[in-house]
């Protein structure tokens, strides 16, 4: 008789491993990256308002009768006559270039606002990363296996690493 025994060793992950796992799984950073990219496109669109714009309008017309010049001279005993001046089918096109000369700062302020939005969204990505990390720290330190004393020590350490002021029973403040 052969007896097989399997020893399953379970190892709790370290805080750094927990952070790596959480950062790779949580979608908040990816969403923040997309918001930053959208802000960059808004900035590009705002800068394009300085550029000239080309507008072209073309139409093709069908008339029931050919345009003609009809004349009759009153008092002259000649019959009236009509001279065709165009065909009954023709195309009309119009091309126009417009460029803003003076907008009262409207374009400049739109570009500045879009640049500020990029900066805010980039800080939002950092904020998302810190939020994920603090969620992991909270779960890691306040879990059932950790004592309150160990949890507080790790909590204070993490807050000082991230450069934020934290208290054990207070909200995290920037």
Q: Please report, in tens digits, the pLDDT of each residue of the chain (174 residues total).
A: 444 444 455 566 677 887 888 888 888 888 999 999 999 999 999 999 888 999 999 999 888 888 888 877 777 777 777 777 778 888 899 999 998 888 888 889 999 999 999 999 988 888 888 888 888 888 777 664 444 444 445 544 555 454 444 444 444 444
Tokens representing 113?
């606002």
Could you give the CA distance from residue 61 to residue 40 in angstroms, rounded to a whole number? 44
Residue whose tokens read 């550029």? 51
pLDDT of residue 12: 62
pLDDT of residue 53: 92
pTM for this prediction:
0.51
Q: Quick one: DSSP state of residue 164? A: -
Residues with Cβ within 8 Å of 87's Cβ and at least 6 positions away in sequence, in order, are: 66
Nearest alpha-carbon partner for 24 in 122, 136, 127, 163? 136
pLDDT of residue 143: 62
pLDDT of residue 90: 84
Could you give the CA distance from residue 28 to residue 132 in angstroms, rounded to a whole number? 8
40 CB neighbour count, 10 Å cutoff: 16
pLDDT of residue 168: 45
Burial of 95 (0-12, 13-18, 19+ CB in 10 A): exposed
pLDDT of residue 78: 73
């Amino acid at each position: 008789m052969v007896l097989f025994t399997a020893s399953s060793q379970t190892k709790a992950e370290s805080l750094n491993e927990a952070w790596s796992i959480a950062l790779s799984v949580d979608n908040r950073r990816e969403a923040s990256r997309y918001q930053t990219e959208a802000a960059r496109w808004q900035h590009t669109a705002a800068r394009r308002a300085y550029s000239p714009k080309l507008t072209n309008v073309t139409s093709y017309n069908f008339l029931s009768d050919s345009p003609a010049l009809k004349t009759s001279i009153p008092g002259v005993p000649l019959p009236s006559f009509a001279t065709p001046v165009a065909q009954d089918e023709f195309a009309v096109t119009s091309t126009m270039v417009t460029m803003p000369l003076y907008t009262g700062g409207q374009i400049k302020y739109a570009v500045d606002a879009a640049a500020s939005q990029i900066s805010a969204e980039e800080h939002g990505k950092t904020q998302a990363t810190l939020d994920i990390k603090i969620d992991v720290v909270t779960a890691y330190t306040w879990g059932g296996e950790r004592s309150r004393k160990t949890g507080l020590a790790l909590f204070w350490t993490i807050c000082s690493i991230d450069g934020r002021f934290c208290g054990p029973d207070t909200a995290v403040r920037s």
